[in-house]
Structure 1
Amino acid sequence: MPQSRVTFSTDDELEQRLFDAAEAKSLGNIKDFAGRPVLVEGGGYEKIWLETQPMGGEMYAKRDLEVGLNNQLFFIETQREDGRLAGAIACEGGVVDPQFNQFQGFCFAEPALNMYYLTGRNPDYLHALYRALKRFDAYLWATRDSDGDGCLETWCQFDTGEDHALRFADAPTQWRPDTPPTGFEVVPIASMDFMGYSYASRDVLARICALAGQQEESASWRAKADQVLNRMREYLWDDGRGAYFDRDRHHRVMPVLLHNTLRTMYWGAITPAMANRFVDEHLTNPREFWPAMPLPSVAVNDPLFRNVPTNNWSGASEALTYQRAIRALERYGRYELIPKLGRALMEAIGPDGAFVQQFDPFTGRPYESAFPGQRQDAYGPCMLSVLEYLSRMHGVHIEFDRVIWGSCGKASTDYTQEWDGRTFRIVSDGRWAEAFIDGVRAFSVPAGRRVVTDLTGEMLAQCDF
C-alpha cells in the first residue's frame, strides 16, 4: 500500500490553528472495525455512513491510504445480494453490523473510483467496484420507482440524510422494507437525490468500462446516465425558477427551495447551463443561500425554513454541505466560490471553536449541540472540510490522474503532499507561487491561480480563483 502525508505551514494564524486541530482531532475518529482501521463520522456518530464516509475516507486518504480504502471496501463487502448498500455500518465487540433501515445518502461512486487511482490501480478492486455499482443501480430501479413514472423515490427522512426536515411532513424517519410506505402525506417522493444516486453510479460505471477497454459497454452506461438526466430535466427541473424540485406521492411539485440542487452538482446530475443558473440565481443570492453563513439547507426566505440548533435539515448551514460543495463547484468550474466558502467556514469555527455539525446562517455561530444535552466536537465532515478547503486554496489535491494546485490569498504558505514515494509541494509568499514535484520546480504563477497538471507536472489548465 502506498503511503501518504500532508504538511502545511502558513503565517495566517487562524488557518494554521484549524489545520493543526483538525489533523489532531481526526485521529480520534479512526476506529478498529474487526481488525481494520476506518474513519467514522465522529462528533457523536460512531459509524461509517454511506452519505459521508466513502467521501470522508477518500479525503482522509491524503493522510492514510489504508483508512481511505477501507472506507470504500466495507460498503462493497457488506452489499446485500439484491444490490442494496448499507446506509450505515457499525462495529461493536469486533462484529461488523451493516444496517439497511435507510439509505442516508450516496457520496460513494466517485470517491471510490479515485481510491483506485490513489492505491495503485488494482484491477481486482476496480472489478469489485464495478460489480457493486451495477448491482446497486439495478436495485434502485427494481424497487424505488414504485409508481412507474420513471423517477426514483425517497421513502423516509433518513433516505437522503435530511434528518427532521419539515418538508417530509409525517414521513417515517427510517424505512427498512423494500416495498413503499403507504398512508403518509407526501412519501413516496419523486427525488432528485435518488436520481442523483443512479446518475453517479452510471457515470462511474461508464468510466470503469472505459478504463477496462470495454468501450461498447462504456457507451451503454453513458447513454443510461443520460436517460436519468433527461428524466430529471423533464420531471423535476423548473425552468422558470432555475432549480430542481421533488414531487410528492400525488405527483405534485413540492415548492420548497432546497440546497439539494447543489447535491445534484456533486453527482453531475445536472447540465452546466442548469447548474450555473442555480448558482447565479439562488446559491449566491444573499436572500436565499448566501446569508452571513452561506449554504443553509433551505433558502432562508422559504416558508419552510427553520433555524433549528439541533440536528435538523430544515435550514441551518451544515458542515456536510460545505464538504460536498467542493466537488460540486469544481465539477462545474465555479472555482471562485471555493475560497469564499472555505474562509467563511473557518471564520465561523474560529480559532478556539469546536468542529460541529451545524451553524446559524445569519450569524455563523456554531451550534455546539447536535443532540440535546451533548456538546459536540470533532465532527468529521467539519474537520475534513477545513482540511480540503485548505488543500484547494493553498495546496495540492491528487484526483484520478491529475494534480490540482492552489495559491489563494496574501499569506505565506507552504503545503506538501507526500504520496507513493513522491512529493508535490507548492510555496507562496502571497504574490507568487512555485510548485515542485520531487524537488524539481514544475511551474511558477502569480498567487491567486488554480493550476491543473498531470502527475509529471505538465500544465493542463490554469485560471484565477
Structure 2
Amino acid sequence: MARFDDVLSRLRSAEPAFGVAFVAEGGPLEVRWRQATAELASCIRPVGDPGSDPILIEGGAYDGAWIESTGTISTDVLGRFAPEVVRATHLRFAAEQREDGLIPYKVIDEGPGFSQIQIVTPLARSVWNHYLLSGRADREYLETMYAAMSRMDAWLATYRDTRGTGGVEAFCTFDTGHDASPRFWFAPDRCFRGEASLWDPDAPLVPYVAPDLTANVACQRAYLALIAEELGHDPSPWRARAESTLAALWEQCWHADDEMFYDRDRNGELVRVASDVLLRVLACDVGDDDFFDRMLRKHLFDTRRFLSPHGFTSLAMDDPRFDHDFTRNSWGGPANFLAQLRAPAAFEHHRRAGELALASQGVLAALAVADRFPQTLDPWSGEAGYTQAYSPALLWFLDAVERWFGILPLPDGGVRVAALAPTRLDHGAAARAVGYRRVVGDSVWELAGDDEGALLFIDGAQVLELARGERATLTAAGEVVARETLRSVPPRF
C-alpha cells in the first residue's frame, strides 16, 4: 500500500538483530531499539569459566545471573530472540545446584550464591515455555530441568515451612528481592549467617509466610505437573501439592477486608504493607477472571494505589512510607522494570491486554527518550533512575515493541500481531509509522503500522489488515484464528 512504501522499503533493507528488524519513521524509537539490542548483546557472556556457554546476565550494577529475574521472567522474553541463551542460562542454574537441592539465587564469576532463595517467578513456567517455543523437541533439557526443580521443591518443603502452614516462608528481605521496601522493616537483609536454610532467632518478625513465595511454588507445581506428564510421569502428585499450596496462600496471606495479600509474621500477625506483591501473586496465575477484574479496579488501576503515569509502582502511592527516591535500588515506591516485565503474565492470562497496553504507553515513552535503560523510573516524571544497561529494562522495551506493533511468537506455535503503532506517545517519543520483520518457519513476515492501523505481509504478499487497536492471532502458516479489539477500563481516581 502506498502509505507504507517508505517504511517497508527501509524495513526490507534493515539489518536484523536477534533475528528481527525494526524501523520507525520519526521520533527516537528506532535509535533506542538499536541501542537496546546492542546493550542486550553485551549482557550475554560466559560467567566464571571463559570457555563456558554464554548466558544472560542481569546487567547494570549486577554482574551475574539472578534466578528470580535473569533466569525466569527475563528468559520468558529472551526466548523469542535468543533461545540458545535461554537454554544455557537455565542449565547453568541446574548445574550449580547444591547437593541438598538448593538452586543458587545467583551465579557470578566467583561462583554460585546460596545466602537467600530470591525466586518469585515460576522457573518451571519459563522452562515449559522455552520447551514449547523450541518445538517440543529438547527432551534432554526438559528432563534435566525437571530433576533440578523437583529437588528444589523438596528443599523448600524441608526448610521453608517451619510453622507447618503449607505456605512458603521468607527469612529475610533478599529472599523476595524487595530491597528497601517497608514490607521488610525490622527484618534482616540476608538469611542468618549467610545460609538460606537458616533464619535469625533474634529477629522479631521473620519467618514470614510470604504470599509471593507461596504463589510462586503453587504455580511452579502446576507447571511441574505439565512437565511430568510430558515426560511420562504421573502428574497428579504435583497437582495435589499445587492445590494445597494455593489453599495455604488464601488461608495465611489474604485479608478479606482490604482485599490484599500480606505476609504473616512469626507472631501470626499480618504485615499490612500494600506492595507489588499483589502483581507478583497475580502473575502466578492466582484467581479467576472475576477476581482479577476486582484487583484491577480496586488496586492496579487505581491512581492512588499502583497505577502511575509511568508504570506500576512498587508500593501503594497512598502509603505514607512511599519512597520518592527513584535514584537508588528501592522497592519502596519507584516503578521497577522487573514489575513491568512480570505484568504481562498476569494481564494476558486474564485476557486484559487492553489495560496492559494503556499502562505500558507511559513506560514506553519514558524509555524512548531516556539516556539509559535503568532499573527504576520516577513514577511521576518517567525520569530514568538507578543503574543502566539493565537487562530487564532492555527486554521490557523489546517486548513492548513486539507486543504492541510487532510479530510475537507464542509458545503454542501461533503468532500474534497488533496494530498499536506508537504514534501517540508523549514526551516527543511518537513515530509516524513503524515496520517490523521476523522469520516464522520458512517465511518472512512483515508488519507495517501507522496511526490508522497495520498491514501484515507474508513473503511479500499482503495477508491481513488491522484497524488501530486491533490484535490478531494466526497459525504459523498465516491463518487467522482470532481477532480482538483492545479496550481498557478507565483508570480510577
Normalising by structure 1, we get a TM-score of 0.90
- Residue of structure 1 in register with 2:446 after alignment: 425
Name the CA distance, whole Å, in 2 between partners of 1:416 and 1:125: 29
Match status 1:90 vs 2:102: no
Query: How much is the aligned-residue C-alpha RMSD, in angstroms?
Result: 2.2
Q: Which stretch of the first structure deviates more once superposed, 312-321 or 176-185?
A: 176-185
Cα deviation digits, residues 237-291 of structure 1 (max 9, x gap): 2232222111111111111111111111222133333222111111110111113
What are the within-5 Å matches in structure 2 for residues 58-73 of structure 1? 58-73=76-91
Instruction: State the number of aligned residues.
Output: 450
- Residue of structure 1 in register with 2:313 after alignment: 296
Name the CA distance, whole Å, in 1 between partners of 2:164 and 2:131: 36
Deviation at 1:458, TM superposition (A): 3.5
Q: Which stretch of the first structure deviates more once superposed, 177-186 or 412-421?
A: 412-421
Match status 1:109 vs 2:124: yes
What are the within-5 Å matches in structure 2 for residues 249-328 of structure 1? 249-308=266-325, 309-328=327-346
Name the CA distance, whole Å, in 1 between partners of 2:464 and 2:140: 36
Contact 2:457 / 2:464 at 8 angstroms: preserved in 1? Answer: yes
Q: Which stretch of the first structure deviates more once superposed, 427-436 or 321-330?
A: 427-436
Deviation at 1:441, TM superposition (A): 5.0
Relative distance call for 1:459 and 1:222 in structure 2 (3 A) is: farther
Deviation at 1:155, TM superposition (A): 0.5
What are the within-5 Å matches in structure 2 for residues 39-438 of structure 1? 39-54=56-71, 55-92=73-110, 97-107=111-121, 108-120=123-135, 121-175=137-191, 176-214=195-233, 217-308=234-325, 309-367=327-385, 370=386, 376-401=387-412, 402-409=414-421, 410=423, 411-418=432-439, 421-437=442-458
SS, match of residue 202 in structure 2:
coil
SS, match of residue 13 in structure 1:
coil
Cα deviation digits, residues 68-118 of structure 1 (max 9, x gap): 2212111122122322111000125xxxx1111112224322222222123
Q: Which stretch of the first structure deviates more once superposed, 60-69 or 278-287?
A: 60-69
Name the CA distance, whole Å, in 2 between partners of 1:279 and 1:221: 30
Relative distance call for 1:246 and 1:424 in structure 2 (3 A) is: farther
Match status 1:29 vs 2:43: yes
SS, match of residue 189 in structure 2:
coil
Contact 1:449 / 1:462 at 8 angstroms: preserved in 2? Answer: yes
Give the partner amino acid of 2:473: V
Deviation at 1:12, TM superposition (A): 4.9
Pick aligned residue for 1:13 from 23, 27, 31: 27
Name the CA distance, whole Å, in 1 between partners of 2:154 and 2:378: 40
Relative distance call for 1:250 and 1:90 in structure 2 (3 A) is: same
SS, match of residue 85 in structure 1:
coil
Contact 2:146 / 2:224 at 8 angstroms: preserved in 1? Answer: yes
Relative distance call for 1:218 and 1:426 in structure 2 (3 A) is: farther
Relative distance call for 1:136 and 1:460 in structure 2 (3 A) is: farther
SS, match of residue 308 in structure 2:
coil
Relative distance call for 1:90 and 1:407 in structure 2 (3 A) is: same
Contact 2:403 / 2:417 at 8 angstroms: preserved in 1? Answer: yes
Q: Which stretch of the first structure deviates more once superposed, 272-281 or 140-149?
A: 272-281
Match status 1:452 vs 2:473: yes
Name the CA distance, whole Å, in 2 between partners of 1:233 and 1:434: 46
Contact 2:39 / 2:389 at 8 angstroms: preserved in 1? Answer: yes
Contact 2:102 / 2:155 at 8 angstroms: preserved in 1? Answer: yes
Cα deviation digits, residues 216-255 of structure 1 (max 9, x gap): x234423322222222122212232222111111111111
Give the partner amino acid of 2:418: G
Relative distance call for 1:453 and 1:227 in structure 2 (3 A) is: farther
Contact 1:15 / 1:346 at 8 angstroms: preserved in 2? Answer: no
Contact 2:474 / 2:482 at 8 angstroms: preserved in 1? Answer: yes
Cα deviation digits, residues 384-441 of structure 1 (max 9, x gap): 1111011110112223223222221354222122356554432324334333455565
Give the partner amino acid of 1:105: I
SS, match of residue 439 in structure 2:
strand
Contact 1:292 / 1:362 at 8 angstroms: preserved in 2? Answer: yes
Relative distance call for 1:311 and 1:449 in structure 2 (3 A) is: same
Cα deviation digits, residues 431-460 of structure 1 (max 9, x gap): 343334555655333231222233333333
Cα deviation digits, residues 154-199 of structure 1 (max 9, x gap): 0111100001222212222111141332121221111011112212
SS, match of residue 266 in structure 2:
coil
Relative distance call for 1:454 and 1:235 in structure 2 (3 A) is: farther
- Residue of structure 1 in register with 2:11 after alignment: none
Give the partner amino acid of 2:438: Q
Name the CA distance, whole Å, in 1 between partners of 2:458 and 2:18: 15
Percent identity over the alignment is: 28
SS, match of residue 111 in structure 1:
helix
Name the CA distance, whole Å, in 2 between partners of 1:423 and 1:204: 33
Contact 1:4 / 1:420 at 8 angstroms: preserved in 2? Answer: no
Contact 1:229 / 1:270 at 8 angstroms: preserved in 2? Answer: no
Relative distance call for 1:293 and 1:429 in structure 2 (3 A) is: closer
Name the CA distance, whole Å, in 1 between partners of 2:22 and 2:411: 23
Normalising by structure 2, we get a TM-score of 0.85
Contact 2:181 / 2:332 at 8 angstroms: preserved in 1? Answer: yes
Name the CA distance, whole Å, in 1 between partners of 2:483 and 2:257: 34
